[in-house]
Structure 1
């Protein structure tokens, strides 16, 4: 687990203790309306001159033929992923390609809607998704001066903690990366939808996923973490399912805990402290602190739990969620961690369920 300083903020301050998977020193408090993520950027009016792939995504349905290459982008799967994301059954990074996270999101949606649970893109799934939300799945967005300006960080290997510690912030490395995360998309899909687009030029019009509201409809009072399949489920006080997220949950070397914990506090923009005396991974020989930012090793949000060293947090690698082991914590995409962090409060129950954590 990636840090040695544990957040234990209680109301107005924070007490520090040594741990292995929490962010570094950070004053934080449970989120309120003032600290919740801002509303999604307003989309420009839809344009008719979209790429063939973008047009295919918007019109895909049950009869859309899958691509001959199963690893190629499927317009139908891209549309399904956007609709699932808007229904708060997160498929993780929207990439238009089949995979475990998409299957888990479909299964959760099917179960919630009383459909046959098989994880497949069936006519019944299409019918339920479109009846629930038949709106366009793409919006047009005009890149702003702020999007183009950044600031952006130098690209550094994810395991080079010493080089990362020298940066003033762990910001996105390119406008493409920043825009892809803002719209919950994989960079490859965003590029494919907008061939030839200059993502670093203000005024460029691009097609992006049309997202739903960022805020959950109620406060989260319970979080279930399924270690067997790699999934986080959020519930309100009436036991209503609010959202489902794919997650990396621990590893064989450092498995996630079992039983019930609780949320201690939430820290937006956490720092990350590496201490080789406490860790079994990494190359640095001395203690160092990595600044905050979405490419920080714990991403853009840290949800501290009431067991030393454990938390729920974001990641600099959204496409690897539930595909690569963590150092004991629960890893979500940055956008899913931000949504959950904005809705959960101190004291919310956190239950670790299922079989041993996935090895990656």
Structure 2
């Protein structure tokens, strides 16, 4: 049923996934997604041309903002709240007018980074080799039986490794482009300038490498989680803003734990103890489960533990929802952003949460 073919058509992955779901009885771990044929009803407009979902200027700004330490969330070439937040934070850090727009002074400051928007990547093992799980069940009882909560297919993995979405990878390359070992794709230019992860404990260095986290990061002393702004700010020893990330924080049922806390320990690729009594939306019949680790697990690739019991800063299997959904009280970030935060901060750092 499952092939180890090294080439898969980008635009066909969703259709292939649907077909497999109908044909198999349960989730399985596979070494590669099943190949398929191009989706003939898909048209392709190159980035920057009429009909493309990617706005070239926005896309380049997102790449430059992330490189400067002010994450826009997923890099997709679209305007939105996370982009405005990132621009505002960057402007504050550079002493510019904080209007949240790409005005002249902001463009000029960003372009000092001298980083092209895209890069051509010949896909290698770090890009495409993984344990793929399809279909990925939502039921914790079924998830518990899996060896790993991995990516669904190569397209999903490549998208996360390059801090974007599967749809954006397709939009950059066309639905007829091939994905697999040795294939070349145009991707967001988030390739690190340094991969020296000396001193990173446990599985952290491996995850940082796989998620293209640059080893060279500003040193943070504390963080401020600002609910009104929807961001997590990294402050240095002089309380200067040096980095910023969009986050999802709390909900009506599980509000942000306002106050002063500390982040004491880090866990990379952690398993997750699902305790339904801690989730207001869990069914009354739900039971506890120990879920395996993986980027598509409930807390993504990392858990940074807060001194408030049951609360932490963690990753997510759905990066496109950051800032647009609610959490169960914790601070949720994209997988690549939570790993970058872990690189900036030493365990034991102070965390202030405010409305």
After TM superposition, the score normalised by the length of structure 1 is 0.75
Over 3 Å counting, the alpha-carbon distance change for 1:326 and 1:120 in structure 2 is same
Identify the residue that residue 29 of structure 2 maps to in structure 1.
none
Measured after TM superposition, the shift of residue 216 of structure 1 is 4.7
- Cα offsets for 1:240-263 (capped at 9, x unmatched): 433110000111110011111001
Q: What stretches of structure 1 move > 4 A for 4+ residues in a row?
A: none
Match status 1:252 vs 2:233:
no
Alignment of 1:9-48 (within 5 A): none
CA distance in 1: counterparts of 2:94 and 2:218, whole angstroms: 20
CA distance in 2: counterparts of 1:164 and 1:95, whole angstroms: 30
Alignment of 1:128-139 (within 5 A): 128-130=109-111, 132-139=112-119
Gaps (5+ residues) in structure 1? 1-50, 57-64, 355-360
Measured after TM superposition, the shift of residue 145 of structure 1 is 4.6
Asked if structure 1 preserves the Cα contact closer than 8 Å seen for 2:305 and 2:312, the reply is: yes
Identify the residue that residue 143 of structure 2 maps to in structure 1.
164
CA distance in 2: counterparts of 1:297 and 1:125, whole angstroms: 36
Measured after TM superposition, the shift of residue 77 of structure 1 is 0.8
Name which of 190, 199, 207 aligns with 2:169. 190
Measured after TM superposition, the shift of residue 318 of structure 1 is 0.3
| Structure showing greater relative contact order (alpha-carbon pairs closer than 8 Å, 6 or more residues apart) | 1
Over 3 Å counting, the alpha-carbon distance change for 1:92 and 1:146 in structure 2 is closer
Secondary structure in 1 aligned to 2:221? strand
CA distance in 2: counterparts of 1:117 and 1:279, whole angstroms: 38
Match status 1:207 vs 2:186:
yes
- Cα offsets for 1:178-206 (capped at 9, x unmatched): 1111111122111111112222x211101
Over 3 Å counting, the alpha-carbon distance change for 1:53 and 1:121 in structure 2 is farther
Match status 1:290 vs 2:291:
yes
CA distance in 1: counterparts of 2:122 and 2:100, whole angstroms: 35
Name which of 163, 168, 176 aligns with 2:155. 176
Over 3 Å counting, the alpha-carbon distance change for 1:206 and 1:112 in structure 2 is same
Asked if structure 1 preserves the Cα contact closer than 8 Å seen for 2:224 and 2:234, the reply is: yes
Identify the residue that residue 83 of structure 2 maps to in structure 1.
102
Secondary structure in 2 aligned to 1:346? coil
Identify the residue that residue 219 of structure 2 maps to in structure 1.
219
Alignment of 1:1-360 (within 5 A): 53=46, 56=48, 72-130=53-111, 132-145=112-125, 147-157=127-137, 159-195=138-174, 196-199=176-179, 201-211=180-190, 212-213=192-193, 214-283=214-283, 285-354=286-355
Over the residues paired in the alignment, what is the CA RMSD in angstroms?
2.1
Gaps (5+ residues) in structure 2? 1-43, 194-213
Over 3 Å counting, the alpha-carbon distance change for 1:218 and 1:166 in structure 2 is same
Over 3 Å counting, the alpha-carbon distance change for 1:146 and 1:184 in structure 2 is closer
Secondary structure in 1 aligned to 2:46? helix
CA distance in 1: counterparts of 2:91 and 2:236, whole angstroms: 20
Asked if structure 2 preserves the Cα contact closer than 8 Å seen for 1:84 and 1:129, the reply is: yes
Asked if structure 2 preserves the Cα contact closer than 8 Å seen for 1:106 and 1:120, the reply is: yes
Measured after TM superposition, the shift of residue 68 of structure 1 is 7.8
Over 3 Å counting, the alpha-carbon distance change for 1:277 and 1:129 in structure 2 is closer
Whose helix fraction is larger, Structure 1's or Structure 2's? 2
CA distance in 1: counterparts of 2:64 and 2:45, whole angstroms: 20
The count of aligned residue pairs is: 289
Asked if structure 1 preserves the Cα contact closer than 8 Å seen for 2:269 and 2:300, the reply is: yes
Asked if structure 2 preserves the Cα contact closer than 8 Å seen for 1:216 and 1:339, the reply is: no
Over 3 Å counting, the alpha-carbon distance change for 1:321 and 1:266 in structure 2 is same
